[in-house]
Structure 1
């Protein structure tokens, strides 16, 4: 786990240096091997309700340009016709998860209906990407007792309510004011304003020493072995 964290820190430092070069900022000369410090603050950027052809594609372009990995929780019914976008997510190092088939509230339906919503999306992801563990984000962050979930579940600790305001500057401000190391940030990649906000947040927080990783990496950095059926709200549990 410690070696994995050091590799991620080194990657973040490298990306920060490349970003500095891209902005034509002066490079700092160093003698010998650069020291890996503890100043890097890890955070996970997560996106719900996609994929959506126009907005998700633009988001992926922006994340690739910035060297950022995120976690996407996909709605099964939105996947047909967007398979190439999902393959691209996998190829570019993003974590891909399950957000049910039709964004159904798992606190309401019968257990059999809820489990079908989860399994149907899981089967489609498997057919496109291959066998894997596609973590679940329950819609509205809720899941009723009695519903069997065979993978780890992910909630969030920072919710700027981007779906409600659809205002880029408000969303950015809400995230920057609330974020802490090990936060899990909730956004939706189906809104242009949210994509704009996400990329602005990345640029802002990278300058403050934050490194963006997937939820799985965030938990691993804290030596957490994720368990099926457990709902994780931050990188520390």
Structure 2
């Protein structure tokens, strides 16, 4: 081999060696970059609830996020009185005794599905306060309700106990267990529906100031009402309808039940009278969050405040 050929061969090997070194250094740098700055090296996409490897961790994270921004310790009875917006709300109650009645066959169902179907057909927005036991009993139905764009979901405790004495015959929960009662409902609602409730309603509407503070510390806004349909254990749909017609005004929050059975047998029959009537009066049905969004309202406990 001539001297000239040897020189060309040596130059070629040097170029290859240099190229290999550069490639190696590039990959080494890339690996180090990703290790040091993972948030810049890899694009992360939000994971859906169904993608989580641990639903328990997901629920715990959502509860922690909710408790970081605390609302004012007040009970909201109505929205602003200067607009025709109103909210119709339904409590999906479930106590342990109601669960026993269902299991024994004493009642067929504690879910009044025709109510939801009618409101959906009429394009009426509404809010449902779910108890944890109801969600545990009807997980599929709870998901269907939560996925309806016309519906907002709230927390109504786990087993619908009384927070005070003499509350419609409901069994009273000891104060030290009250927080766990609400958190248990929050956990199962999030787990089964993927929705994080931000509003709460006391069972029976019974509470004391200390209960208001307890719920507020969990990051939940407390929703009461100013119009009672009185559909519980009421066999007269006309009286239920009249209660709502007479009581409703601008900003009203109407309370009814989504239970059916012996508990609220005539809610649907009353609704088919009430909805056309209220629409005819020019009222607009909105979710609770829409009713209160960026509007000053009148609390029943504490100072005037602005809903954020």
**TM-score normalized with structure 1 length:** 0.72
Q: CA shift at 1:43, angstroms?
A: 0.7
Match for 1:183 among 242, 248, 252? 252
Residue 164 of structure 2: aligned partner: 107
Q: Which of 204, 208, 213 in structure 2 is aligned with 1:140?
A: 204
Q: CA–CA distance in 2 between the matches of 1:53 and 1:85?
A: 12
Q: Matched residues in 2 for 1:214 and 1:53: separation? A: 26
1:142 Cα shift?
A: 2.2
RMSD: 2.7
Q: Name stretches of at least 5 consecutive residues in structure 1 with no aligned partner.
A: 1-38
Tell whether 2:291 aligns with 1:218: yes
Contact 1:136-1:152 at 8 Å conserved across structures: yes
Task: Tell me how far 1:90 sits from its aligned partner.
Answer: 1.9
Aligned to 2:92: 49
Secondary structure of the 2:89 match is strand
Cα 1:155–1:50 shift into 2, 3 Å: same
1:163 partner SS: coil
Q: Secondary structure at the match of 2:183?
A: helix
8 A contact 1:40–1:209 mirrored in 2: no
Query: Separation in 2 of the partners of 1:118 and 1:60?
Result: 25
1:173 pairs with one of 239, 242, 258:
242
Pair 134,168 (structure 1): closer, same or farther in 2 beyond 3 Å: same
Q: Which has the larger radius of gyration?
A: 2
Moved more, 86-95 or 178-187: 86-95
Scaled by the length of structure 2, what TM-score is found? 0.56
- How many equivalent pairs are there? 191
Which SS does the other structure have where 1:202 is aligned? helix
